[in-house]
Amino acid sequence: MPVALSYVGVGHKAAERALAIENNAAANQGFGRLWTLLDRCTERKWATFVVLLGLAMGIGGYLVSLHLKIGDLDSGAPELRADSRYNKDNGYITSHYALSSDLFAVMIKTAPEGCLNYQTLILADRLGWELQQHPGVQATSSLVNAVRQITAGTYEGNPRLASIQRNQNVLNYAAQQASVNSPELFNTDCSLMPVIAYLRDHKAETLSGVVAIAERFARENSSPDRQFLLAAGSAGIEAATNLVVHEANRTMLLYVYLAVTVFCLITFRSWRATVVALVPLMLTSVLCEALMVFMGIGVKVATLPVIALGVGIGVDYALYLLSVQLHHQRQGMSLVESYRQAVAFTGRVVGLVGITLAAGVVGWVWSPIKFQADMGILLTFMFLWNMLGALIGVPALSYFLLRGTQPALAEAVEKAAAPRASVDASAPQGRMKAEQLPADVR
């Protein structure tokens, strides 16, 4: 932009318009009224009110954010709306048939030919039964089901023989027949076989419940002869993804805030100013998670960047304001005057950036794709709230943390003026003794 302006320049009308805006602001007209309103946040009464309000919102938002779920919260494809053709068809199939596309598979690993062991088949049968007790599981399937059916069919369909026989020859024959019709039930050397659960949906609550059952069963029944391994299938992979997202969510935010803290310390050279810049960002992050709870949005890979984006964008607003405010404070101005100069110089930029960013994504709210609409609401909220948090929160926090900032230039002037005030009265008028001159002058 500076290079472009060096060629294009600034027109006389633009310069006159800018001067007119500044004059109106100085006369408490136009933007000046807004700046005067924001200046009140540097007063004790309003600063206390803003801080207490922010504290109450932070506590309330945190309590709500405790209900934030990891993963999808809707059945079907959560990226689409509930009345989309795909979700309607998926709901019909799931409700009318005991099958679904959400498969959760627990792998049983044994020695070669170990999957035909009687004890292994019994444990696989028990695992399938325990999974079926969860309301989110429609049915289960494994080699056990095929062995039981083939064994009964071999003996003229006798229902009393629809079970797992202890006779190894009977088990071998049943497994041989099962491998012809259903080769996916175990691998070629019979060292790995899955227990597949067909889920009603892949909601976070369903996946967490099924994972808890499978993990508990694996802890209680795994041995050197057989290990129960989680998980395969579309739902199993999503469950594993949710676990990683759960661990990465707080870690990601921690790294983002650490990076922002370091750069704020480098920029401001003040831990107080860093706190003033970070507190509004932290409030925005908490309120964003609370908003996700109200909107029924879970934390997953697609939503993680949105939460981090709010921190990265929000700190810009604080940098715009605090850099100018601290500069004037260190020149000897009071907090009220310094913030007035900061908001008059960069306040319009902060408002313009926030409104422009929000305007670019607010149109997503009416998208037929639910995920895009949800992200439009979240981003619009974060862009606007970060803007308001900076314009209102920075002066309020500055009253408590930056009001006593020592003006470096004022101190220097006082130190330079002190020797002059102590001129010896006995010295000739208009002259000072050499020892009374400042060291840098001598």
What are the DSSP calls for 49-87, one per residue?
HHHHHHHHHHHHHHHHHTTPPBS--SSS-TTB-TTSHHH
* Percent of the residues in the chain that have a pLDDT greater than 70, as a whole number: 86
Q: Which has the higher per-residue pLDDT, 283 or 160?
A: 283
Q: What is the pTM of this model?
A: 0.75
* pLDDT at residue 231 in the model: 84
Residue 301 scores a pLDDT above 70: yes
Average pLDDT over residues 376-394: 88
> What pLDDT was estimated at residue 126?
92
Averaged pLDDT score across all residues of the chain: 81
- Segment 90-116 mean pLDDT: 84
Query: Is the pLDDT score of 369 beyond 80?
Result: yes
220 vs 351, more confident: 220
CA distance 303 to 374: 10
Cβ atoms of residues 252 and 308 within 8 Å: yes
The residue among 205 and 97 whose pLDDT is bigger is 205
pLDDT digits (tens, 9 = 90+) for 418-429: 454 444 444 444
Provide the 8-state DSSP code for 96.
H
Query: In this predicted model, which residue has the larger pLDDT, 441 or 400?
Result: 400
pLDDT at residue 417 in the model: 46
| pLDDT: which is higher, 260 or 412 | 260
Q: Which residue has the higher pLDDT, 374 or 430?
A: 374
| Residue 437 pLDDT | 43
Q: What pLDDT, on a 0 to 100 scale, did the predictor assign at position 190?
A: 84
**138-147, 156-165, 179-188, range with greatest mean pLDDT:** 138-147
Residue 212 identity: A
The confidence band for 407, taking pLDDT boundaries of 50, 70 and 90, is low
Specify the length of the chain in residues: 442
Residues 124, 292: Cα–Cα separation, whole Å: 39
Rounding to the nearest 10 degrees, give the CA dihedral for residues 80, 85, 90, 95.
120
Can you give the pLDDT at residue 158?
77
**Separation CA 242–CA 301 (nearest Å):** 8
CATH superfamily of 28-66+269-401: Multidrug efflux transporter AcrB transmembrane domain (1.20.1640.10)
Structure confidence at residue 30 (pLDDT)? 55
Domain ranges of the chain: 28-66+269-401, 98-240
In this prediction, what percent of the chain has a pLDDT beyond 90?
14
pLDDT at position 343: 83
The pLDDT of residue 428: 46
Residue 9 phi, psi dihedral angles, 5° rounding: 80, 180
pLDDT score of 177 more than 60: yes
In tens, the pLDDT along 53-77 reads 999 999 999 999 898 888 887 777 7
CA distances from 86 to 79, 80, 325 (A): 11, 8, 54
Which tens digits make up the pLDDT trace of 5-42? Answer: 777 777 777 666 666 666 655 555 555 576 677 778 88
Residue 434's pLDDT band, with cuts at 50, 70 and 90, is very low
